[in-house]
């Protein structure tokens, strides 16, 4: 069964550094999403992406964040200058119709 | 504003007994409702959805959920719980007036513990 994959599974970075989180969505899906979950809190929407552009973003998704689909398979989330409060589990999701399919997540730790 | 409430942090059930995990929602338009399950160190796995039609929807692993418009609820149920059902369960909603796609609003999750 096809599934969403994410790399790395765990990323440790220093405050102020740039990080890129990578996702490979399910191959025939056209809609892509990033969510995050801070430890002990709800899963929160960050951004959605369709047809090579952002279709919706939350207030969390400020100028420090960007997304890209650099080729036909990858979907990336870049955080330009990480802050301590960016520490969270980041989930990528893709969708063809109504339901979204999630990857296993990348745990980002900012020190 | 859209929101989801899962009033129970934890639900404890004996194996073989029926289980219910509660969810209530608030959206301005027609609700699209979803249940996801998360096992330790895994992503969110889709269980079932309500878009339109029958109020009782069936999903993976024997789970079902009942949409109740008047009570704005979408409780997850299973007639006979298994120890392997122990996991974290998330209810999610989005406003269906936006079409088939859109961001999900999640509840805080309910930990289900099934004891032998």
Domain ranges of chain B: 3-115
> What is the spatial distance between Cα A12 and Cα A28, in angstroms, rounded to a whole number?
32
Closest residue of chain A to B4, computed from CA coordinates: A42
Q: Does domain B3-115 have CATH number 2.60.40.10?
A: yes
- Residue numbers in A near B103 (CB within 8 A): 33, 45, 48, 56, 58
Averaged pLDDT for residues A58-82: 94
pLDDT tens, N- to C-terminus, chain B (116 residues):
889 999 999 999 999 999 999 999 999 888 999 999 999 878 899 999 999 999 999 999 999 999 999 999 999 999 999 999 999 999 999 887 767 788 999 999 999 999 99
Interface-testing mutation among A45, A99, A105, with chain B (most B C-beta atoms within 10 A):
A99
> In the block, which residue shows the tokens 């969390």?
A60
Query: Is A98–B100 a contact, with Cβ atoms under 8 angstroms apart?
Result: yes
Interface-testing mutation among A29, A31, A43, A67, with chain B (most B C-beta atoms within 10 A):
A43
The domain segmentation of chain A, as residue ranges, is 5-92
Q: What fold does the segment set A5-92 form as a domain? A: Immunoglobulin-like (2.60.40)
Question: Which residues lie below 8 Å from residue B75, measured CB to CB, with a gap of 6+?
Answer: B20, B21, B22, B23, B65, B66, B68
Averaged pLDDT for residues A89-111: 95
Neighbours of A110 (CB within 10 A): 19
pLDDT at A72: 79
Averaged pLDDT for residues A4-23: 97
Closest residue of chain B to A106, computed from CA coordinates: B43
What value does the CA radius of gyration of chain B take, rounded to a whole number of Å?
A: 14
> What is the spatial distance between Cα A77 and Cα A65, in angstroms, rounded to a whole number?
7
**Buried (b) or exposed (e) across B43-68, using 16+ Cβ within 10 A?**
bbbbbbbbbeeeeebebeeebbbbbe
Query: Is A48–B106 a contact, with Cβ atoms under 8 angstroms apart?
Result: no
Q: Does A44 touch chain B (CB under 8 A)?
A: yes
Task: Give chain B's contact residues with A (Cβ, < 8 Å).
Answer: 32, 34, 36, 41-46, 49, 51, 90, 92, 100-109
- Residue numbers in B near A6 (CB within 8 A): 43
- Residue numbers in A near B104 (CB within 8 A): 35, 43, 45, 100
pLDDT at B77: 98
Contact A107, A10 (CB under 8 A): yes
**Comparing B2 with A4, which gets the higher pLDDT?**
A4
């Amino acid at each position: 069964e096809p599934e969403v994959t994410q790399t790395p599974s765990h990323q440790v970075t220093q405050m102020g550094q740039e990080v890129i989180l990578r996702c490979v969505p399910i191959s025939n899906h056209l809609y892509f999403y990033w969510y995050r979950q801070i430890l002990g809190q709800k899963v929160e929407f960050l951004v959605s992406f369709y047809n090579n552009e952002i279709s919706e973003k939350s207030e969390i998704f400020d100028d420090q964040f960007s997304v890209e689909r650099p080729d036909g398979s990858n979907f990336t989330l870049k955080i330009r200058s990480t802050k301590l409060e960016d520490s969270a589990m980041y989930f990528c999701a893709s969708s063809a119709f109504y339901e979204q399919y999630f990857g296993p997540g990348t745990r980002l730790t900012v020190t | 504003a859209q929101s989801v409430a899962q009033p129970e942090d934890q639900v404890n059930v004996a194996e073989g007994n029926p289980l219910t995990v509660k969810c209530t929602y608030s959206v301005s338009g027609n609700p699209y409702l979803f249940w996801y399950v998360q096992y330790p160190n895994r992503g969110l796995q889709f269980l079932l959805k309500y878009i339109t039609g029958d109020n009782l929807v069936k999903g993976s692993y024997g789970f079902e959920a009942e949409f109740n418009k008047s009570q704005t609820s979408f409780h997850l149920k299973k007639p006979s719980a298994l120890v392997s059902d122990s996991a974290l369960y998330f209810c999610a909603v989005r406003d269906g007036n936006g079409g088939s796609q859109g961001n999900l609003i999640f509840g805080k999750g309910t930990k289900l513990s099934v004891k032998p």
